[in-house]
Amino acid sequence: MENKQWKVGIFLFNDVEVLDFAGPFEVFSVTTSEDGTKPFSVHTISENGQMIHARNGLKVHPDFSFETMPTFNILIIPGGLGARESEIKKESVIHWISQQMEEVQFMTSVCTGALLLAKAGLLDGKKATTHWASLDRLENEYPEVNVVKNVKFVDEGNIITSGGISAGINMSFHLGKRLVGTKLMTETAKRMEYDIEL
């Protein structure tokens, strides 16, 4: 596992919460082995590949569209207003998430991205969490999901959901630790000046 480069894909959409995607992007892209190699290759995707407008006006141009993207090992589904109000209503997006579950080794969500995983049926019978303000919605709309409260993330093996916004950073460090070890991720945390116990 140590020598593999893990391909990380981050889904972007209008009104995505900035730290939901920027936090994991930073963790995985900053991680560098002692020999200077990068164990993670990180790219962004939107449905059509066109520029998206994140929360509060940040413009981001994704690397790929659904059609042009490569196969990823890890997929990160962030949240935000766009996730819980518009993306959750798009059959094309929910179908894509469901399809990607068959391709990736790890499906992850940050914040209300968990609602998209739940809509795709990926959380049925599993434990999951989301932003504290959307825990009741996740519980009420998706009774098949075992909602966990007051945690930064929930690891169900190949599916990991995390709480709101900054919790995606904790989840990313946790997954990084699983894949490349405590030592390297501790060094990454130090480089980022992020206070976390690994």
| Distance (Å, whole) CA 197 – CA 61 | 33
* Residue 1 belongs to some domain of the structure: no
Residue 192 in any domain: the answer is no
> Looking at the domain assignment, is residue 190 inside a domain?
no
pLDDT of residue 81: 96
Q: How many domains does the chain have?
A: 1
- Name residue, tokens 């998206």: 52
Kindly state whether residue 89 falls inside one of the protein's structural domains.
Answer: yes
Q: Does 191 map to a domain?
A: no
Residue showing tokens 């082995």: 33
Tens of pLDDT, residue by residue, the chain (198 residues): 445 899 999 999 999 999 999 999 999 999 999 999 999 999 999 999 999 999 999 999 999 999 999 999 999 999 999 999 999 999 999 999 999 999 999 999 999 999 999 999 999 999 999 999 999 999 999 999 999 999 999 999 999 999 999 999 999 999 999 999 999 999 999 999 999 999
Looking up residue 115, the CATH number of its domain turns out to be 3.40.50.880
- Alpha carbon 108 to its chain's center: 4
Range of the domain at 80: 6-185
Q: Is position 65 within any domain?
A: yes
Kindly state whether residue 72 falls inside one of the protein's structural domains: yes
pLDDT at position 3 is 59
Q: For the whole model, what pTM was predicted? A: 0.96
